[in-house]
Structure 1
Amino acid sequence: MFLSNEHKVVERIRFIISTSLTGLMVLEYAWNIRFEVRVIWPKLRKSAEARIFVIARYMGLAEQIFNVWFANRMASGIPTPPMACRAWYSFHGLTIQCLLMSIELLLIRLACKMYNNDKSVFGLLYALVGAQCVGMAITARMLMADINPSPTCVVEPNPGQIYVGASAIATNLCFLAAILWRYFTVKWPEILCSYLKIMVRNSIFVVILVTGNFLVAILTPKEVQLPIRHILVSAMVFSFWFAVGRLVLGKEKFRQQFQNDYELTEVDFDNLEPLDHSDVYPTRSSNTKVVRTELSIAVDPELGLGIEGDIADERIYDWVDDASISGRAPTIMPSETGNGGECSGSRKS
């Protein structure tokens, strides 16, 4: 009788939490749907990032809406066959793993771009994800074999769930460490600083969400595991779904804002090249800080204006009167510029 009453409380709490989180997801989706249709959908054929985003976004939204229906069924006390319960928990676990893998793939793509698609970094990051997938598959098989649902599909927590959380925390912290190391130890072109600052900030936020969810699952005391675990299931879907949206939508919104602010500037944010990359930026003296422009002007000798020299701050109109050189074209020689500084988070117009 005690177990039955406890199950009823858990089912009611799960229904309330699932409904609230689904409402927040629908609001966030309605807020961004126009931007998503206008910017993300046209890239589906060419961009793997856009495909990851769309799959994770709609799979997570559909799962959470279905979760409300199933939680309502549980709270109403409607009995469900054990096979249907197993199918439901399998689908729920698959959705969480899909959202988690979407987050990790997006973090891998960012890290690989920052390391110029270095093969060793690429292989190491994917090896971490592969090891995590193998561990999760083994754990999921163990968990599904031990499922013994109640008539309303309430399942007792399994201690084996901590292994899934531990591997996910370790993998995501490795991704974040690789991104932060590259960001703080390399000189980036100033035009990329604001972009990288936003992406690093979103990456930190995402890793905190993932780590926080799994830490709660691992550190929850045994006496309160039943209600907390069932609430955490819905919270994971919501937070992982929201994290995928921040990684992709944040990037695309910055790109759109940048194009609006700098209409004549084309920057490939998918090809991040640091300033000290020898293939792109030749070696220059670190003391070169003055922009030097050689200007040669050919003027009619009768005017008495034969000028050839270097200018730094003066404008050409201060040297020669407009009327006196009308029809004469100055010849601008190539200029030399010094190295840019490290990322400061500011942009120059």
Structure 2
Amino acid sequence: MQGEAATAAQEDRQDRETGATVEFRQVRRAFGAAVALDGLDLDVRPGELLALLGPSGCGKTTALRMLAGFETPESGEVVVDGEDVTSVPANRRDAGMVFQSYSLFPHLSAADNVAFGLRMRKVSARERRARAAELLELVGLPHHGDRYPHQLSGGQQQRIALARALALRPRVLLLDEPLSALDAKVRLALREEIRRLQRELAITTLFVTHDQEEALSMADRVAVMHAGRLEQCAEPGELYARPATAFVAEFVGTMNRIPGRTGDDGGVVEVVGRRLPVDGPGAAPHREVDVLVRPEAVELAVAEKGTKGAEGTARVTGTTFLGAVTRISVRLADGTLVKADMTTHTATAFPAGTAVTVGLPERPVLVDERRA
């Protein structure tokens, strides 16, 4: 059976070749006064897994439902492999969708759930059974075909839902927060399984999630959305290290806001006693700003007695053990709370109450206008 599943996966790859291209072109959708998508422009590359990441109400699920054919844009186009599918009904979109709630038919066995779409397409019973068996093998449940949903765990049900979505060999796979209802251990295992299958089948996949760890660990690229608009779409490493906007910087990972002031031309900012170049177009000259810095970039040193730091310019207020890393909380003289991450072994030198000096590395930083 393992060989048959591998053969089925190879056939799927050949059917799709390099995967479908997907484009959202100036797509707009509103529900009354609430604008869900506000001119969304987004390209999905053939065979990639792209995560749509953002807070609740940002438009990510609406975008997914738009591609599936469950929603119709007020304006703009949805294009798959160069074909405008904006007006094409959902049952002709050639897209497989996996929902958060599994949506399995309780009266059908796992194998019959997987084969349901094939039955609707009048595929012969023999072919349906063979295809269901191949897919159950592919998702690691070869001996569960005769079980009913109530006899399966949550993770197993979601695997069946995934197999069902793949049964029709769709051009695009759509995943709408499929792991959010599972416990942490199962979620991690299924996350790896979905990524393995997606790569093996070379199927273009859109994955909606509000979990940044999930998005960064699984996706080839991550599209961060906010208020119906695309803030940034980039590879996970670039998104984390070089966020394009203050929203992306604070939504993806942990970010400090440290008070600073721009210089004469706005391209340099003074912060914690240093002059650093501003990343991006800069800000207005002589403007009070917040400098956005990751905790791992904050440099701490124990202040020597008699220095300004020892008199209370900055002082450790507490530490949080995170395993190999410890997060140290430091309060600056102006009351700003700054978080610094360092190895747990090094952090032992900074117990609560320690007077410290705070520094930043010599590299460009992102700034944002000071919040009131």
TM-score by length of 2: 0.22
| Greater Rg over alpha carbons, structure | 1
Between the two structures, name the one with larger relative contact order (CA 8 Å, sep ≥ 6): 1
Q: Of Structure 1 and Structure 2, which has the larger fraction of its residues in strand?
A: 2
TM-score by length of 1: 0.23
